[in-house]
Chain A
């Protein structure tokens, strides 16, 4: 069950919060190797590595970078998505907290490939400490010339601007993020055009997640072939899973894709469950993915296998619930989240997430009727696939799958007149 700290270099080396410490740990070798190539060769290396986007959708990073037109006559931008707000996901936070220079180096590598002279890192507003760490890292890079007029060589400038959100999950959606970065309300745009063609200020823009970009330095240092050979062909590399909920050792675990199962992740790495409790369910890729049951525990952790099991790898935020929890109450809590975070632009999402919360809420509070189950089912198709962005699909997926896999529980909650508050797990210092 190989763990490999390729992005989480701070778990292998000390003192990565200073530039000199990062350099001692081999920092900047990836950018150095990249600058010796032509930008096209760098893009080709991204592509050959097989690295896929770690923010949720899993789109191949190199392919996305190759979509940016080279002849637009306008500046090109790289934007790093550090909005991390998907429930159950806290992997980017650990990078920002402990290994900020690896992200800076990754952003620089991607920027060299697509010809960007100014990149942006958009940090969620709540990440105050992480913001301060990044501010210090950027200041140190500027002071030492790692960023600035000659960053990529004499007369080849590159710099990074930090931008801070102010509390809105939807600003993690790439086009909403761009709107927010442009000083507007953070509401998604109609696609196409995709950001690769018309992104920030209508210019070609590459948007990637923190973990995606922080994966680049080791890839460019050790070689795309090294990375591509880790794990399955279509899902190569390492992936960080955040494990939370009813496990004894919640935390982040960076594993080689495909070589660890969901069971290994939950029961071995994350310490398993309390004595006397049984596994009930987990949302393996953040809260926007279909829920899985004990039957799926032997699924290997990679994009294809998790999709084959009926869910998604998503952001890698694995939320675990034991049999003290109630699937109806959990679904209701998630429905509340999506209702609260819907930006309100599309009617099916704005109204639909409200109805999901309301119907599940009355079940939880003992006012549900069996007809409500049919009503829920009829709602799903009227929300999914009919909206501007994927928030609405993410609201439906956990609820629809819960109803399919745990219908008996929904019926029982309705018949018994509600769902009792589960006994909280309490603080365990494992």
Chain B
């Protein structure tokens, strides 16, 4: 993604912030939509579009769990394992998803299709055990068969055109 594209995205919202530094996070989120993570070029483009140094932009990005500074799979599956979900079988769900996509716990599948991560409370404890694909709906309560069906559908879909993590 180029600095120009990011600037165009920011143009209509610039006036909403008294300090332009506030644009960094929206710019990072937008830049991540292209590849699903933030390679160096994307960081450089955000820096150029916002007028802050690349080092500063990277230090902001590295603070947030859902901004990825390393490559991740085409789909990121977050299984919540915080207490309410643990009490309803989240650890077993995580292990089941890992076995399905062929990762040893958290990590990226060999084909680059999926990254599996443990998440902290997704604000959907009424749906425990639950998972979220990218930042899509919090889905649950899930049996292991439900999880297989979700993964199967994702495989069939392939890569999204735009990543919203």
A→B interface (CB under 8 Å): 75, 84-90, 92-93, 118, 124-129, 131, 159, 161, 163-169, 180-187, 201, 203, 242-246, 250-252, 283, 287, 317, 319, 321, 325, 329-330, 333-334, 337, 340-341, 421-422, 424-429
Report how far A235 CA is from B142 CA in the complex, Å.
37
A242 touching B83, Cβ below 8 Å = no
Q: A88-B121, A317-B125, A334-B83 are in contact. Are A75 and B18 (CB under 8 A)?
A: yes
8 nearest CB pairs, A to B: A424-B89, A128-B135, A167-B65, A167-B66, A244-B125, A183-B21, A166-B64, A244-B84
A-side contacts of B63, CB under 8 Å: 168, 185-187
Measured between beta carbons, the chain A residues less than 8 angstroms from B122 are 126
Measured between beta carbons, the chain B residues less than 8 angstroms from A340 are 120
Give chain B interface residues in 112-160, CB to chain A under 8 Å: 119-129, 132, 134-138, 141-143, 146
- 28 A-B residue contacts at CB 8 Å? A75-B18, A89-B121, A89-B123, A90-B124, A93-B124, A125-B64, A127-B123, A127-B135, A164-B25, A166-B25, A166-B64, A168-B65, A169-B120, A180-B25, A185-B63, A201-B18, A203-B18, A242-B125, A245-B88, A287-B121, A330-B83, A337-B82, A337-B120, A337-B121, A424-B88, A424-B91, A426-B88, A428-B141
Is B66 in contact with A427, judged by CB distance below 8 angstroms? no
Look across to chain A and name the residue whose beta carbon is closest to the beta carbon of B87.
A245
Contact of B123 among A85, A166, A321 (CB under 8 A): A85
Contact B125 A183 (CB under 8 A): no
Q: Closest residue to A325 on the B side, CB-wise?
A: B87
Q: A183 and B128: CB pair below 8 A? A: no
Please determine whether B87 and A425 come into contact, CB atoms closer than 8 angstroms.
Answer: yes
A375 vs chain B, min Cβ distance (A):
23
When the two chains form their complex, are residues B18 and A87 in contact, meaning their CB atoms are under 8 A apart? no
Q: How far is the CB of B89 from chain A (nearest CB, A)?
A: 3
Interface residues of B in 47-81 (CB under 8 A from A): 50, 52, 59-60, 63-67, 78, 81
Q: In the docked arrangement, what's the CA distance between A422 and B81, Å?
A: 14
Q: Distance (Å) between the CB of A396 and the closest chain B CB?
A: 16
Cβ–Cβ < 8 Å partners of A118 in chain B = 16
CA distance in complex: A48, B91 (Å): 47
Tell me if B83 and A422 are in contact (CB < 8 A).
Answer: no
Asked if B135 and A126 make an inter-chain contact with CB atoms under 8 angstroms apart, the answer reads yes
Considering only CB atoms, which chain B residue lies closest to A75 in the complex?
Answer: B18
User: Considering only CB atoms, which chain A residue lies closest to B144 in the complex?
Assistant: A427
Considering the chains assembled together, what is the distance between the CA atoms of A161 and B17 in angstroms? Answer: 9
Contacts of A251 in B (CB 8 A): 126
In the complex, the answer to whether A165 meets B64 with C-beta atoms within 8 Å is yes
Instruction: Please give me the residue from chain A that is nearest to B93 by CB atom.
Output: A424
The CA of A149 and the CA of B84, in the complex, are separated in Å by: 45
Chain B residues in contact with chain A, CB under 8 A?
Answer: 13, 16-26, 28-29, 50, 52, 59-60, 63-67, 78, 81-84, 86-89, 91-92, 119-129, 132, 134-138, 141-143, 146, 164-165
Choose among B21, B137, B142 the residue that contacts A184 (Cβ–Cβ < 8 A).
Answer: B21
Q: Is the CB of A245 within 8 A of B83?
A: yes
**Distance in Å: Cβ of A325 to nearest Cβ of chain B:** 6
Neighbouring B residues of A319 by C-beta, 8 Å = 83-84, 87, 125
Q: How far is the CA of A129 from the CA of B26 in the complex (A)?
A: 17
A86: chain B residues at CB < 8 Å are: 121
Distance, CA A282 to CA B13, complexed state (A)? 44
B29 touches A164 (CB 8 A): yes
Q: A124-B123, A183-B60, A243-B126 are in contact. List 12 more A-B contacts (CB 8 A).
A: A88-B84, A89-B123, A90-B123, A92-B123, A165-B25, A166-B64, A166-B67, A180-B25, A250-B128, A330-B87, A333-B81, A426-B89
Asked whether A128 lies within 8 Å of B134 as measured between CB atoms, the reply is: yes
Instruction: Pick the contact of A185: B23, B52, B59, B134 (CB < 8 A).
Output: B59
Q: Which residue of B lies closest to A427 (CB)?
A: B141
Which residue in B65, B121, B129, B136 is a CB contact (below 8 Å) of A128?
B136
Check B89–A287 contact: CB distance below 8 A.
no
Q: Once the chains are docked, how many angstroms separate the CA of A131 from the CA of B164?
A: 11
Verify B123–A84 contact, CB threshold 8 A.
yes
* Cβ contact within 8 Å between A287 and B83: yes
Complex Cα gap A169–B66 (Å): 12
Task: Give Cα distance in the complex from A75 to B18, angstroms.
Answer: 10
Nearest to B60 among chain A residues (CB) is: A185
Task: Check A93 against B123 for contact (C-beta < 8 Å).
Answer: yes
Q: Which residues in B have their C-beta under 8 angstroms from that of A242?
A: 125-126
Q: With a CB–CB cut-off of 8 A, which chain A residues contact B65?
A: 166-168
Contact between chains at A183 and B24 (CB < 8 Å): yes
Q: How far is the CA of A87 from the CA of B19 in the complex (A)?
A: 32
Which of A88, A329, A340, A428 has most chain B Cβ within 10 Å?
A: A88
A contact residues around B22 at 8 Å (CB) = 163, 181-183
**Shortest Cβ distance from residue B78 to the other chain A in the assembled complex, whole angstroms:** 8
Contact A184 B60 (CB under 8 A): yes
Residues of A within 8 A of B84 (CB): 87-88, 244-245, 250, 319
Cβ B89 vs Cβ A425 within 8 A: yes
